[in-house]
Amino acid sequence: MKPLFLAAALILTTCMVLAAPPYHPYGPNLTYGEVSNGLSVLSDVTNPAAGAVALDRQEGNRYRFGILSAMGLGVEYGAVDDLFDTIDEQARAFQNSGLAILDLADIPGSVNRQVDRLNGVLAEIQDKGYGKAFASMEAPVMPVVVAHRGLGGTLVVDVNASATSKAVGLVEKVEFDAGAFDPFLPVQTIGDVTIDIPSASFKVDNDSTLLTKGAAVIELALGYSRGIWSQEQGDLYAGLRLRYYRVGLTRVATRLGNVRDAQDIFQDIKDAEFNWSEDIGADLGLLWRGERYQVGAALENLNEPEFEYDRLDVSAYLDPAGAIARTLAAREAYVMERRLKLEASLFTEDGKWLFNAALDANAIRDALGDEYQWGSLSAAYAGSGWLIPGLRLGYRANLAGSELSYVTAGLTLFKVWTLDVAMGTETVSIDGTTLPRSLVINTGLEVTL
């Protein structure tokens, strides 16, 4: 488990300031879901129309801002137990060292059985094995929400950033023909396997690769919202938000034969250089608020901004025209795909109890290629006390990609401090310890005037 937490820490310390990325809802939205319930300054930036609702909910003007409104870390593992121990063990079969021939009386059979096991492990890493770390952070004081009558609506300014890294396996089957073994040759290479009879060991040499990808996104956003229609049954609000993105992307390919242990892949991401580029995005939002309910929709990244990874040099690969080398050498781009988000909230008459539901109408991919489509349900209590004025519980699930689900919980302390945790419902064994496959922790400080 240590390598992933190390990667998350490195992400936090190397970015200038750490948008709500699809893999990491920020602040209390981790529990609430992507809803504009007004209980947090971060709910005022969920939907571009949300800020104007705050203006009409009280007399006079309103100002809201963060101190450090959102900081968060998360990890996610594939469904392979003890993945990193497995990588460490199997790496010894490759070029830099080797595995012992267990049965000297049947050298080809002994090697073949271990190669079969190695192929099974490689296939498992290919299908399920990955480790992912991520972090997000709002810049100090951000977001700032200015709901002023003189503006005729609400301005929202936001500066934030997020970062993530992921290690995945790109593998090819180890080729070995036990029938081609010659007992009279002390050292011989058969397919991808070199047998050394004097040392009673064998080594593997092919292009199986550990691919480490990283992405950092810095976002500056400016939004405006206002009421556009009022009826006895409720009010309709609309909003527009423009975003400036600065995105850094990196890919590092490490052939399995060059890996000493699993820590190497995270050293690679630490040493990697990011390819930075910029683009502009635009969001639209609508909210209808009735006496005791609210429904809304937001359409993010209307123009689908696009950013590119650097191409990788595969000239040193054994087979530069092979499937792995072609995959690595191909152009890869990150497109911030258009996403439609739907939300609904119910309030009790005194406003102290809220019930929220949110759903992404379509799946999108993050910078690392993982699919996300969130659905969430939550219940929250908003009291007037000082010590613990807010409590919330929820459930969220990714309806695409990993299809992981989470139980979520959060509380507000002293009216300014929020703490939210999401724990995956599936488990994995890491370093011999059973842990949730995914865990996210968010905290922050905010002020309302």
Question: Is the pLDDT at 125 greater than 90, yes or no?
Answer: no
| Weakest-pLDDT range from 60-69, 71-80, 436-445 | 60-69
pLDDT of the residue at 13: 32
Percent of the chain with pLDDT over 70: 88
Task: Report, as an integer, the average pLDDT of 95-117.
Answer: 87
C-alpha closest to that of 342 among 302, 296, 379 = 296
pLDDT per residue over 145-174, tens digit each? 998 878 889 999 999 999 998 888 888 899
- Collapsed DSSP state (helix, strand, coil) of residue 125: helix
- The whole-number pLDDT of residue 168 equals 84
**Number of Cβ within a 10 Å radius of residue 278:** 11
Q: Region 351-364: what's the mean pLDDT?
A: 95
Would the pLDDT of 1 be above 60? no
As a whole number, mean pLDDT of residues 33-49 equals: 89
Q: Which residue has the higher pLDDT, 320 or 304?
A: 304
Burial 68-100 (b: 16+ CB within 10 A, else e): ebbbbbbbbbbbbbebbebbbebbbbbeeebbe
Q: Which two tokens stand for residue 113?
A: 């059985």
CB atoms within 10 A of CB 181: 19
Q: Say if residue 360's pLDDT is above 70.
A: yes
Of 78-87, 135-144, 271-280, 420-429, least confident by mean pLDDT is 78-87
User: pLDDT band at residue 313, thresholds of 50, 70 and 90?
Assistant: confident
**Does 19-76+142-160+214-448 carry CATH code 2.40.160?**
yes
Model pTM score: 0.86
Q: Predicted confidence band at 8 (pLDDT cuts at 50, 70, 90)?
A: very low
What is the pLDDT, as a whole number, of residue 262?
54
Residue 9, pLDDT > 70, answer no
For residues 102-115, average pLDDT: 93
pLDDT at residue 184 above 90? yes
Please give the backbone phi and psi of residue 180, each rounded to the nearest 5 degrees, phi first. Answer: -90, 0
Omega before 143 within 30 of 0, i.e. cis? yes
Mean pLDDT computed over every residue of the chain: 86
Query: Which tokens sit at 203?
Result: 């080594």
Q: What band does 323 get if pLDDT is binned at 50, 70 and 90?
A: confident
Distance CA 139, CA 160 (A): 5
Give the phi and the psi of residue 232 in degrees, each rounded to 5. -60, -30
Number of H-type helices and E-type strands within the chain: 7, 25
Backbone torsion region of residue 196, taken as left when φ is above 0, otherwise alpha when ψ lies between -120 and 50, otherwise beta: beta
The answer to whether residues 247 and 223 touch, using CB atoms and an 8 Å cutoff, is no
Structure-block tokens of residue 414: 């002293």
Instruction: Give the model confidence (pLDDT) of 72-92 as tens digits.
Output: 999 998 877 766 666 666 666
Local structure of 14: helix, strand or coil: helix
Distance from C-alpha of 301 to C-alpha of 293, rounded to nearest angstrom: 27
Q: Among the residues of 61-210, which ranges form H helices?
A: 83-91, 107-128
More confident residue, 269 or 355: 355
Check if the beta carbon of residue 160 is closer than 8 Å to that of residue 24: no
Question: What letter represents residue 425's amino acid?
Answer: T
For the chain, domain boundaries: 19-76+142-160+214-448
Helical H runs in 242-307? 263-271
Tokens of 225: 């919202």
Query: What confidence tier does 269 reach under pLDDT thresholds 50, 70, 90?
Result: low
Give the model confidence (pLDDT) of 286-297 as tens digits.
Answer: 999 998 999 999
Residues linked to residue 74 through DSSP beta bridges, in sequence order: 134, 440
